[in-house]
Amino acid sequence: MLLWQTQSNELPLLELFLVFTTAVFFFHFYVDWRQLQALKIKSPPKEVEGTDLADPAEFSKTRQYSIDKWFFSAYQSCYSLLETWAIFLFGALPYAWRLSGTLLHQAATLMGPIFWPSSTQAVTNMLTEEGNTLSQCCQSAVFVLLLIYAQTLLSLPWSMYFTFVVEQRHGFNKQTPRLFLWDALQSVILIGIFAPPLTMAITYILIWGGTWLPFYLCGFMLCMSLLFMTIYPTLIQPLFNKCEPLPEGSLRSKIEALASSLEFPLKKLFTIDGSKRSAHSNAYMYGFFSNKRIVLFDTLVNSCTEEECVAVLAHELGHWKLGHTMMLFSGMQVYTLIQFSLFAAIRSSPHLYSSFGFGAELGTPAIVSLLLFLLVISPVDEVLSFLLNIVSRAFEFQADAFAAGLWYGKKI
């Protein structure tokens, strides 16, 4: 059944969302098209004189790679727009909620005799009874898993094409199909482990949060962010990459000297085997307070001189020294609190549900109200994203200037 219909004089939220999404698509396409015209210029600009890009062969390779990525992104964006229209016009979200309830009831019925034989019917009713908090938390977990897995499946062909065609064509891909699928399988398993309890916790907060709901939600999201920032490098990333201490030597001494000169509390220095998936280079740092760690991709260490590696880290440490990471993180926490405050004001509106096809027979599931609110507020998020890009660009220039001030300007 198509949902493109306005049944009252209320604000047509679904129609406005789709129109805005389409307008954003065309705006981004116009901006990207202007970028494509710049990429079609075959001679290096004066700004890159004295760098590797000034070499005609190197510039041509970089230019062609950027053009190929442009066309891939354009086709993917067109598909994404059509997918979005199909999802909402054909009522995929209400269908997913109904399906999650059916699957939950069937699972409870099948597992009851095995796990709770003495009270099968009572527990099954508790898990599937409409209006029950536990039932809604469980159904919400199944609902979110369905959405995530469906999106993962739909995006898999695009990911495979980019990896094994675009990246392969330009010599960046180092993955085998087996490794790619193994990574995908591990990601699916991790989602299955972490998504249900997180969804159930959020649903419980939504149901019982009351007046302090925005603060509870914001506090929970902050705690989860800090938790995953802690466990990702130690528990999750080792499933995908091998991390080893950077060997003693000249490079390690130079990095430690740079960190010491900036009073960066470096505790550990690692390399990671990024080369088994990609030829792209990267470096990052993580940790809290006086327990900081730096990770270098082996592609960076192997393809750059020691001075260039240190220059890359000087840029990254510039972000830390100038407080960019903390400013962006704090700003996002404030915006999240504002978002949740607005959500608390409209979450109980029946019109929010009916606009997206959730009829009265489906009730007012808490997790759905949050999802729909995030869709309705997407225009504000688009403006915020634009402003964040401006701020982020300014921070990048500041970090470059910081590194240049440390005599690494020519190496960046």
Write out the catalytic residue numbers: 316, 400
Q: Which residues contact 160 (CB under 8 A, 6 or more apart)?
A: 180
Within 13 Å, how many C-alpha atoms sit on residue 370's CB side?
Answer: 18
386: Cα within 13 Å, side-chain hemisphere: 10
Q: Are residues 161 and 73 in contact, defined by beta-carbon separation less than 8 angstroms?
A: no
Residues 6+ apart with CB under 8 A from 357: 3, 14, 88, 91, 93, 94
Rounded Cα distance, 66 and 35, in Å: 10
Q: Give which of 142, 47, 153 is closest to 96, Cα–Cα.
A: 142
Report how far residue 294's alpha carbon sits from residue 132's, in angstroms, rounded to the nearest whole number: 47
End-to-end CA distance of the chain, in Å?
56
As given in the structure block, the two tokens for residue 328 are 């962006």
- Burial class of residue 234 in the structure, from the number of CB atoms within 10 Å of its CB (0-12 exposed, 13-18 middle, 19+ buried): exposed
Taking a C-beta distance cutoff of 8 angstroms, is the pair 14, 355 a contact? yes
Torsion region of 245: left, alpha or beta (phi above 0 gives left; psi -120 to 50 gives alpha): beta
Contact 264, 292 (CB under 8 A): yes
Distance between CA 132 and CA 146 in Å, rounded?
A: 21
